[in-house]
Amino acid sequence: MSRAFIFPGQGAQTIGMGRDLAEAYPAARAVFDEVDEALGQKLSSLIWEGEIETLTLTENAQPALMATSMAAMRALEAEGIAIDAAAFVAGHSLGEYSALTAAGALTLADAARLLRKRGRAMQAAVPVGVGAMAALLGLDLDAVRKVAAEAAQGDVVAAANDNDPGQVVISGHKAGVERAVDLAKAAGAKRAVMLPVSAPFHCALMQPAAEAMAQALADVQIKTPAVPLISNVEAAPVSDPDQIRALLEAQICGAVRWRESVQAMVDAGVEEFWEIGAGKALSGMVRRIHRPATVRNIGAAADITAAVESTKG
């Protein structure tokens, strides 16, 4: 059965994530130690014993989620399941960095430092209160694009995350996004809700962050991944390091084409998706995109045991 490893994005963070992996697997513990050293901060203490409000800050959540995903990946490897057990890797927004690290394209330390910079740059790109995001449920991408265009009225309003057939997230200027929420309800959306986020991610307002990340990425070595990455921006496989670098920059302002990314993997023969790290959000999206898919969550020591058993058969 062809398999893909997929890696979660922001919003999946919880206090305590990855702790039992670190306790059960020395290789997983070493991930948190290396990330702490790379950042010059006991991020592991914040993840396991801190306040959720502090962990949720973009500059903390992004490297923390990557570290948790990589701890799970190292635990799998300790049990004999390596990256070549997957045909593809993919990640939702910051999860793309986790995917690239898992596939050996980025070092763990470089990924941690890049995500700290990315988090800070995205937070600083737009003053608090100027931007917003909203989830529109029950409208497809074309319908959301029409709503966004009508709501803009000179503001930026764009489809930011095309998550699954019934969920598209929009991003942009707060007033424009609020207009879009009202228009979406009038257009037949099942729900249209403002999201509790600190900045309008994945839209043109993030251009200052894209420029900052272009500079940061220029100083980092990117290797050819062991298995192809399904890019957020193109929803297609990529392995060339220079193309990966350009796409990571473009991803800051570009939409996360998750629905199309999952469909591309299904079309390439993937039948089983393992969500590596915190939460289960991507698994739910995969099921809504392709109901016959088999999904598995790998976020705790017990999940590693179950995954190993599933491969024996």
Residues of the chain with CATH 3.30.70.250: 131-197
**Is the whole-model pTM more than 0.85?**
yes
For tokens 């050819």, name the residue: 224
Domain formed by 2-125+205-310, architecture = 3-Layer(aba) Sandwich (3.40)
pLDDT digits (tens, 9 = 90+) for 121-144: 999 999 989 999 999 999 999 999
- Count, residues in the chain: 313
Q: Quick check: 313 pLDDT over 80? A: no
Distance, CA of 166 to CA of 189 (rounded, Å): 9
Catalytic residue among 44, 93, 198, 261: 93
What does the H/E/C string look like for 114-158?
HHHHHHHHHHHCCCCCCEEEEEEECCCHHHHHHHHHHHHCCCCEE
Q: Is 93 a catalytic residue?
A: yes
Residues of the chain with CATH 3.40.366.10: 2-125+205-310
| Exposure string for 116-133, b = 16+ CB within 10 A, e = fewer | bbbbbbbbebbeeeebbb
- Provide the pLDDT for residue 197: 86
Q: Quick check: 198 pLDDT over 90? A: no
Catalytic residue among 44, 92, 171, 202: 202
The class (CATH top level) of 131-197 is alpha beta
